[in-house]
């Protein structure tokens, strides 16, 4: 397995990550954005863009990069190798 920074993901890998992490607090995540804009109560922190969320995180992929190694969590991007 290898840890890949979100900003280094291919378009296919980005699609896999965004599909797998449905609870991310981002503007493009429709259900979370609706919460922020008042349909389900108001949280204390504003959602961020998907690109920022990806840049701040790193994701475990199998060695060939074809699929996620784990869908349970992601890591801060500084933990991934350059």
Q: Is the dihedral of CA 24, 28, 30, 32 positive or negative?
A: positive
More confident residue, 40 or 60: 60
Number of Cβ within 10 Å of residue 22's Cβ equals 11
Containing domain of residue 28, as a range? 2-79
Give the chain's radius of gyration (CA, Å). 13
Of 12 and 41, the structure prediction assigns the larger pLDDT to: 12
State the total domains in the chain: 1
pLDDT grade for 47, boundaries at 50, 70 and 90 = confident
Report the alpha-carbon distance of residue 71 to residue 54 in Å, rounded. Answer: 15
Question: Could you give the CA distance from residue 46 to residue 66 in angstroms, rounded to a whole number?
Answer: 32
Tokens 């998907």 correspond to 50
pLDDT tens-digit readout, 56-81: 999 999 999 999 997 788 999 999 98
């Amino acid at each position: 397995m290898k840890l890949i920074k979100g900003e280094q993901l291919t378009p296919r890998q980005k699609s896999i990550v965004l599909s797998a992490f449905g609870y991310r607090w981002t503007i493009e995540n429709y259900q979370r954005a609706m919460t922020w804009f008042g349909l389900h109560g108001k949280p204390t922190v504003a959602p961020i863009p998907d690109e920022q969320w990806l840049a701040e995180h790193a994701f475990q992929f199998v060695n060939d990069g074809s699929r996620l190694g784990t869908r349970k969590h992601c890591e801060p991007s500084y933990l991934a190798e350059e």
